[in-house]
A = this chain, B = another copy of it.
């Protein structure tokens, strides 16, 4: 259990509204999938979501999970990551319920640690870099990914 339940309710209603605005229909499978994403603070794979949804809605298929994830990603409501473990992983996009952060990835056990420290200094560097790069390469920067790879404490001491 993470955070209060009230905020998540808001989030879901917000999502539904955005969905309708874009001309999409709000369906039971989509609601269920969005609930799983909104309730979790993990980096979920399609199968993770499928299995969780399956407990309450056994007839929702994995295909629909993939389709909904693509939709939400295209709409910018979630973010798709590749952490190098052979499957895509998803989390809420930056917003009221999710702070800007980056990841430490353990090369041995694949554990992912989120950090929000150093974000101020990072923003400083990123802003200057983005400005310089945009000018030099005429490249319209929309986002960035920073991953640190290494060995976590649990793995270091065997």
Nearest neighbor of A88 in chain B, beta-carbon distance: B84
Q: Could you tell me which A residues sit within 8 Å of B by CB distance?
A: 82, 84, 104, 106-107, 113, 115, 117-118, 121-122, 124-125, 128-130, 132-133, 136-153, 156
Q: Are A130 and B117 in touch, CB under 8 angstroms?
A: no
Q: What distance in Å separates the Cβ of A25 from its nearest Cβ neighbour in chain B?
A: 27
Q: Which of B84, B133, B136, B152 contacts A82 (CB 8 A)?
A: B84
Q: Are A118 and B133 in touch, CB under 8 angstroms?
A: yes
Q: Which of B121, B125, B133, B147 contacts A117 (CB 8 A)?
A: B133
Give me the 9 closest cross-chain CB pairs, A-B, nearest first: A138-B153, A125-B125, A141-B150, A142-B150, A140-B151, A145-B147, A118-B129, A143-B149, A140-B150
A133 contact set on B, CB distance < 8 A: 104, 115, 117-118, 148
